[in-house]
Structure 1
Amino acid sequence: MGSNRARIAIDAMGGDHAPAEIVAGALRAQAELGVDILLVGDPQQIEASMHRHSSSLQLEIVPAEGTIEMHEEPLTGLRRKPKASINVAMDLVKRKQADAVVSAGHSGAAMAAALLRLGRLRGIDRPAIGAVLPTLIAGKPVLILDVGANVDCRPKFLEQFAMMGTIYSKYVLGNADPKVGLLNIGEEPSKGNDLAIRTHELLHNHPVIPFIGNAEGRDVLSGNFDVIVCDGFSGNVLLKFAEAVGEVALQILREELPQGLHGVIGTSLLKPNLRRIKQRMDHAEHGGGLLLGVAGICIISHGSSQAPSIFNATRLAKEAIDNHVIDRIQSQYQQTEATAADGD
């Protein structure tokens, strides 16, 4: 691609605040992260958004026609709109003109486009969306997957999620010895539904996955686990509940701070602490989730993403590129297959 800098395609038309907030986040990302941004979408709307900023940066614009609306069925929309921004962005990765895709648009369409255009990694049955949440231990987040890609799962899928999550936690989140848990209603191996019981057995006997047991709901944010696997239905409910709790907690802090002159003085003194609290609790600080299991790097951001989320999603994409996440997952899976064959 003629440059050592990562090239990241951003779906400029996806999300509730597109393209204005997407462009703002992209400008900041190119200025601060040392990456080259390709904004995919309607050139006129993108240029109009760029003109509102005083930045001297000129981002590359890749024309596209339309977007997949939230009410549209993903596959139908993708086929009916072959030049939609998410399709064009995925094609850039497929043709190796970009190293990653970031989209805050229709998450189902983003996943379907990734599968159709990039394909799955060899040996991976289903991709999973991984989301990073804060824990009670500062600087020690937990990776939850799947948080929405697969509503119905088989034990084998969750086993693959655990393997991919282990690699991501180790090489991107920096956990030298990640601990993997299975979301369940009790600690005992016999607890839970048929999926949980069968998955527990698979993970317990796996030669590579560092599985330490079941994780109950109260354990998710404890910091005792680095990776927690679950089906996409449970994971999505868990993710959105956690986001809501964070927003409620921040709102309570604002309401309970003292009012008047004493409040102004007190709040000014607490500003650094409040900023750190917001950074730990606000989902915007994490940018979105990495779609693990497809043959390319794809970050799926929140539909309500504004500029900070897009910046952080781009940072997440760069970290995945720099740490060769795709190659590591594929290599680890091949090693696991070889270990299993030797065991037989």
Structure 2
Amino acid sequence: MKFIENNSIDPHYNLAFEEYIFKNLDEDIVLLWRNGPSIIVGKNQNTVEEINMDYVKENNINVVRRVTGGGAVYHDLGNLNFSFITKTESNLIDFKTYNVPIIKALEKLGVNCELSGRNDIVIDGKKFSGIAQSVNKGRVLNHGTLLFDSKLDTLSKALNVKRDKIESKGVKSVSSRVTNIKPYVKDDIDVLQFKQVLLKNIFEYFDQPLEIYELSEDDKNNIQKMVDERYGTWEWNYGKSPKFNYSGYNRFAGGCVEARLQVENGIIENCKIYGDFFGKGDIHELEQKINGLRYNESEVIDALSDVTVEDYLGRISKDEFMKCLFN
């Protein structure tokens, strides 16, 4: 087993980095890495169903889709991610085998933790690690989060979603109580020191010397290509979401408005607008201006920049109408 150092904090790059190693190297690899503030959604999830869109935009939180299943997780610089990428002879998902080294390393730091349910690690019943796996051509990727000193308030707000407005077949995240590791560690260390202690203990567990693997320039160029063509695109992070229906309703001084959308591959396929508003224009015209757009607030605003919404909705403004589409 070998270790690859990756000091990037860009989640688009880091997820491409991890997938590239998973699918292109033959070595057994350990990664310990961090992302700047970001939400990482599972490959089968509906992105807009998992995030608090307004909060994410206001706080410049990245949203990136990964190649493994499971639920959405929050990353920041107080969180440490681990990845074990190894050969396997089985196509079965096995969380326990690959996470015992993490538990044993934490025990050496004085942290009494355990695997819980299918894919969590907990302290006193509170989750600090969510784990996901993928198997591909005789290789297994087992990765997870370690909330060491993360901003748990930001985590709860960024993932606080009003799912009653959205109906889809995407895999839903499960809400759970969370905690940081740092209050339970016997020594006063920061997340980077924690990384070094964890790395040492992982290799001791496997009874192997710590060996570094260096990527070639071609490797790095191929990773960047994956960022440019996939991980950095709206189509991957939002457009890959399962088909969903959205219903948004608000009452304003000028009347009530209900917007119902059918969205497929991130594209608004059908928009219907209902309400008791008084507008002189044919509401079907406004619906048609929205059909075919990406389900993206900025794109819809741009598309309606030359449209006087009040012609269709009476005393209901464009800003008010947008609240029916995205809040």
Whether TM-score is above 0.5 comes out as no
Q: TM-score, normalised by structure 1?
A: 0.22
Point out the structure with the larger strand share. Answer: 2
The TM-score, its normalising length taken from structure 2, stands at 0.22
Kindly indicate which of the two structures has a greater share of residues assigned to helix: 1
Structure showing greater relative contact order (alpha-carbon pairs closer than 8 Å, 6 or more residues apart): 1
Instruction: Give the number of the structure whose alpha-carbon radius of gyration is greater.
Output: 2
